[in-house]
Structure 1
Amino acid sequence: MTTTVYGIKNCDTIKKALKWLDAEGKPYTFHDYRKDGIDQEMLKTFVEKLGWEALVNKRGTTFRALSEEQKNNLDENNAIALMLVHPAMIKRPLLVSGETYHLGFKPAEYQAIFNE
């Protein structure tokens, strides 16, 4: 089963998730949005699997820096457009393992995913 972790390299939560995967001996590929990019097709797949509301990281500095108009007029199309321009707005890590799509990192949740 192929596992890919999507995110931004300098994110502390990404570092924790990758450290866990390494410690557990789970093979994975890391996809850095800033280095490897993200396109509309990939983002639309994530939205289909997880929902656009779940993907938007409203607690991050990138989201907080948006104008009030951008925040108040957020819908699926606007969110996708903003996440393409500002990939740091995408909640992370986003783990894709086989057919499983998972947002965030908690060791117990990762343990459950990899023990299925």
Structure 2
Amino acid sequence: MIIYGLKTCDTCRKARKALPEADFVDIREAGLPEGLPERAQKRFGDKILNTRSTTWRGLSEDERAGDPLTLIAAHPALMKRPLIVDGDEMHLGWDKTVQAALT
């Protein structure tokens, strides 16, 4: 199991604490593996973007209208976090549904 997120993100910290056996990848430092953003977008659609983030609010309307994968590549903090990959399964966020499925 791998948790993709930011080490400074409180939600990612909660997921890491609840899933101590999972590996953690800070996407700001290491980036996302090739193909993973596309798989995540196919699975979750536009929900992959964190439109409540400070980074999102700082973007112009033209930038916001751009391709979500391009935006995430340029601004990793725009990805909704955490993205948890467990084999063929993917989970986005750390809500009660994800917690119930993984803990």
Q: TM-score, normalised by structure 2?
A: 0.88
Distance 2:97 2:25 in 1: 23
Matched, 1:84 2:73: yes
In the comparison of the two structures, how many residue pairs are matched? 103
- Considering only aligned residues, what root-mean-square deviation do their CA atoms show, in Å? 1.7
Q: Is the 8 A contact 1:93 1:103 kept in 2?
A: yes
Alpha-carbon displacement from aligned partner over 1:64-105 (angstroms, at most 9, x marks no partner): 11002222x24xxx2111110101000001111122211111
Q: Is the 8 A contact 1:50 1:101 kept in 2?
A: no
Q: Give the secondary-structure state (helix, strand or coil) at the position aligned to 1:10.
A: coil
Q: Is the 8 A contact 1:4 1:30 kept in 2?
A: yes
Which residue number in structure 2 is paired with residue 42 of structure 1?
Answer: 36
Amino acid at match of 2:63: Q
Distance 2:60 2:7 in 1: 26
Q: TM-score, normalised by structure 1?
A: 0.79
Q: Which runs of 5+ in 1 are unaligned?
A: none
Superposition map of 1:43-82 within 5 A: 43-51=37-45, 53-71=46-64, 73-74=65-66, 78-82=67-71
- Determine which of 22, 27, 32 is the counterpart of 2:26: 32
Which residue number in structure 1 is paired with residue 86 of structure 2?
Answer: 97
Q: Is the 8 A contact 1:43 1:80 kept in 2?
A: yes
Between the aligned residues of both structures, percent identity stands at 36
Q: CA deviation at 1:49?
A: 2.1
Larger Rg: 1
